[in-house]
Structure 1
Amino acid sequence: MTDGFEEAWSLAEPVKGWMTREQGLALWTAACRLDKGDLIVEIGSHQGRSTVVLATAARTVGATVVAVDPFVDGRLFGGSPTRQRFEANLKAAGVDDVVELVAEYSTKLRPRWTRPIQLLYIDGKHDYWTYTDDLRWSEHLAGGGEILVHDCFSSIGVTLGTIAKVLFGRRYTYLDRATSMARFRLTPPSPKDRLRVIAQLPWFLRNVGIKILLRLRLAPVAKIFGHDSPYDPY
């Protein structure tokens, strides 16, 4: 199932973003499990690094990607210039024909959405309320469908949402993670499944601690905890 991933990653890696190679492989593998005519919904695209991986995999199985991103103007988001780079990156990778862009807030689009989804990837706004609303896109997934979430155990809002909706919920089962990218299945969890979510919380607390150290400009201390980078753990 990894056949073709190296080529996909060579197209995606030059695109600015925070998704790692290991996480890209997790997306690729999940997308390659789909069938012809299936639909992938990606919430949060930025400049298209993850989109390129998903779209390249989608092409191999005959699936399609819908990228949902409002491309909001402002210092933290980039707005129209980011959208232009996104579209240029897809074209450069040769996957623009596999991707349908919906430039809208995921929370506003979701109530109107009617198409079935076979794979859901969430990397939108990381606050608790937006993330838990984005999980509701799973209402369009068939039972057993997969959901991948970026920054799941490195963002406070996303982790709190996961605790509320996965650990204490009845719809999602935690499967595994590629660093901070977690994979869930739309199926009721067992007690053992819930324990596996709890087992991830110490790693999450480590990531929060590292973020605090970086903001205090204590990178040498963060290095003691295994984080040798000026950037937040992703």
Structure 2
Amino acid sequence: MDKLSDPPISEQQKFWETWNAKMRDPEHLNDWCTKRADVIFRFFRSLRLENPEILDFGCGTGWLSEMLAKFGRVTGVDLAESAIATAKSRCPEGRFIAGDLFKIALPMNHYDVVVSQEVIAHVPDQPAYLERIANALKLGGHLIITTPNKFVIDRSDVFPPQPPEHLEKWLTIRDLKNLLRPRFKVLRTTSILPMGNRGVLRIANSTKIARLLSLFVSSDRIASLKEQLGLGYTMILLVQKKA
């Protein structure tokens, strides 16, 4: 549930400094990160861009920026100063800036691709956040955006409560598409990591039903179908800036 009031930016910064500390070592990247990155790069490769300008908007410790640098020139921004210091050492060929995402100076109509990985649910003004991205993108430029799926979160018991400085504004796929619609055209949509144990997801993720279906369809195919139907924990969208 969204909190009644947003925590001050200074408190949010403290939270993300602590959160990102565990992401400084590549060995701490979990399977969730890896699977999310796999889809991001599948979408990225489909664009067939040559030496693009890339913005990692909310880059954390730069683990994804380091991979993005293989495709083009990377700029990363993040609220947490210590995370940016790690990003600079991890990806020396990139350009990194620490500060408030709403106040950092960004060039207009400059980037070919913006990647926003698990950020939009943690900003106070989601329409303004997307407006910043749209203004930074070239006409026809692309945004790859990922965020947790409120439909799944509301039907799961596996997520512990977070401290009050952790801003949580969860979105459904419909919510996200509505936010994107004024400035972007949605090209591709998927989800990953099917889960949930309440409501319809109790049935969809039943181990008994899965065992029965496995007699006719592989478990990988079943998981893929759930992801395509939007039953995964993380939503991933490829969108394009409108003219």
TM range, smaller chain: 0.5 to 0.7
Q: Distance in 1 between matches of 2:126 and 2:196?
A: 19
Which aligned pairs between 1:122-141 and structure 2 lie closer than 5 A? 122-123=116-117, 124=119, 126-127=121-122, 129-136=124-131, 137-141=133-137
Describe the shift of the 1:21–1:233 C-alpha distance in structure 2 as closer, same or farther (beyond 3 A).
same
Q: Find the counterpart in structure 1 of residue 75 from structure 2.
A: 66
Q: Distance in 2 between matches of 1:51 and 1:68?
A: 10
Q: Distance in 2 between matches of 1:64 and 1:127?
A: 26
User: Does 2:60 match 1:54?
Assistant: no
Q: Find the counterpart in structure 2 of residue 188 from structure 1.
A: none
Within the candidate set 171, 196, 217, 1:159 is matched to 171
Runs of 5+ unmatched residues, structure 1? 1-11, 72-78, 181-202, 211-222, 227-231
Identity rate of aligned residues, in percent?
A: 11
Question: Which aligned runs of 4 or more in structure 1 are off by greater than 6 angstroms?
Answer: none
TM superposition shift of 1:158: 5.0
Paired letter, 1:106: L
More helix by share: 1
TM superposition shift of 1:120: 0.9
Contact kept, 8 Å, 2:134 with 2:183, in 1: the verdict is no
Contact kept, 8 Å, 1:118 with 1:142, in 2: the verdict is yes
Paired letter, 1:100: R
User: Does 2:114 match 1:105?
Assistant: no
Deviations 1:28-64 (A, max 9, x none): 234442212x2111111222222222123x2xxxx21
SS at match of 1:20: helix
SS at match of 1:27: helix
Q: Find the counterpart in structure 2 of residue 96 from structure 1.
A: 92
Deviations 1:94-125 (A, max 9, x none): x421x110112211126x53351100111335
- Calculate the TM-score normalised by the size of structure 1: 0.54
Q: Superposition RMSD on alpha carbons, in Å? A: 4.0
Contact kept, 8 Å, 2:26 with 2:63, in 1: the verdict is yes
Q: Distance in 2 between matches of 1:69 and 1:116?
A: 18
The count of residues paired between Structure 1 and Structure 2 equals 165
Describe the shift of the 1:178–1:55 C-alpha distance in structure 2 as closer, same or farther (beyond 3 A).
farther
Contact kept, 8 Å, 1:128 with 1:158, in 2: the verdict is no
Describe the shift of the 1:158–1:42 C-alpha distance in structure 2 as closer, same or farther (beyond 3 A).
farther
Paired letter, 2:73: T
Q: Find the counterpart in structure 1 of residue 111 from structure 2.
A: 117
Contact kept, 8 Å, 2:54 with 2:73, in 1: the verdict is yes
- Calculate the TM-score normalised by the size of structure 2: 0.52
Runs of 5+ unmatched residues, structure 2? 1-24, 154-167, 200-204, 211-231, 235-243
Q: Distance in 1 between matches of 2:74 and 2:197?
A: 32
Paired letter, 1:35: E
Q: Distance in 1 between matches of 2:85 and 2:42?
A: 28
Q: Distance in 2 between matches of 1:115 and 1:18?
A: 34
Describe the shift of the 1:25–1:15 C-alpha distance in structure 2 as closer, same or farther (beyond 3 A).
same
Q: Find the counterpart in structure 2 of residue 173 from structure 1.
A: 186
TM superposition shift of 1:209: 5.7
Q: Which has the higher contact order (CA 8 A, sep 6+)?
A: 2
Q: Distance in 2 between matches of 1:17 and 1:131?
A: 27
Contact kept, 8 Å, 1:42 with 1:120, in 2: the verdict is yes
Paired letter, 1:105: D
Contact kept, 8 Å, 2:112 with 2:138, in 1: the verdict is yes
Q: Find the counterpart in structure 2 of residue 34 from structure 1.
A: 49
SS at match of 2:27: coil
Contact kept, 8 Å, 1:27 with 1:54, in 2: the verdict is no
Deviations 1:185-208 (A, max 9, x none): xxxxxxxxxxxxxxxxxx8xx759
Contact kept, 8 Å, 2:109 with 2:138, in 1: the verdict is no
Bigger-Rg structure (1/2): 2
Q: Distance in 1 between matches of 2:179 and 2:95?
A: 29
